[in-house]
Amino acid sequence: MFLSLAHVSVRVKDINESKRFYGEVLGLQHVRDFEHERLKFAFYKIGDTEIELTESKVEAYEARTVGPVDHMAFFVDDIEKEIARLRELDVVFTMDAVIEVMEFKVIFIQGPNGERIELMERIK
């Protein structure tokens, strides 16, 4: 039986740039860093889940690209306020405007490695 999602892993080109984005721009809580001979890791907490950023240190390991995560979705309290804040930080938006899907307002942004990130606000 599955209990909960442990983490989402995102392959990154530059772990320091990604740490700045996830920590400073998105405001996620940095949990820990870890490194071994092939990989560098940085973990960020969001609710009960972690995002694992992974940078390859060995070129041959970089070829692992099958099965990428399509996107990560984050709930926000006020999507318009968050959009304004992210625009001031020059975050790339992949949609021109918020759309409504089911009971949510959504918009997508792009992380520093091309990862798709969805922002969601529950419609009240």
Strands 49-56 and 72-75 come out as unpaired
Token pair in block for residue 117: 């990130």
- Asked if the domains at 1-59 and 69-124 fall in one CATH topology, the answer is yes
Domain parsing of the chain, residue ranges: 1-59, 69-124
Which superfamily does CATH assign the domain made up of 69-124 to? 2,3-Dihydroxybiphenyl 1,2-Dioxygenase, domain 1 (3.10.180.10)
At residue 4 the predicted structure's pLDDT band, cuts being 50, 70 and 90, is confident
CATH class for the region spanning 1-59: alpha beta
**Tens of pLDDT, residues 11-34:** 888 999 999 999 999 999 999 999
CA-only gyration radius of the chain, Å: 15
**Tens of pLDDT, residues 30-86:** 999 999 888 899 999 999 899 999 888 876 555 555 456 778 889 999 999 999 999
CA atoms within 13 A on the CB side of 88: 9
**Tens of pLDDT, residues 86-98:** 999 999 999 999 9
- Looking at residue 66, its pLDDT comes to 45
**What global pTM score does this model have?**
0.81
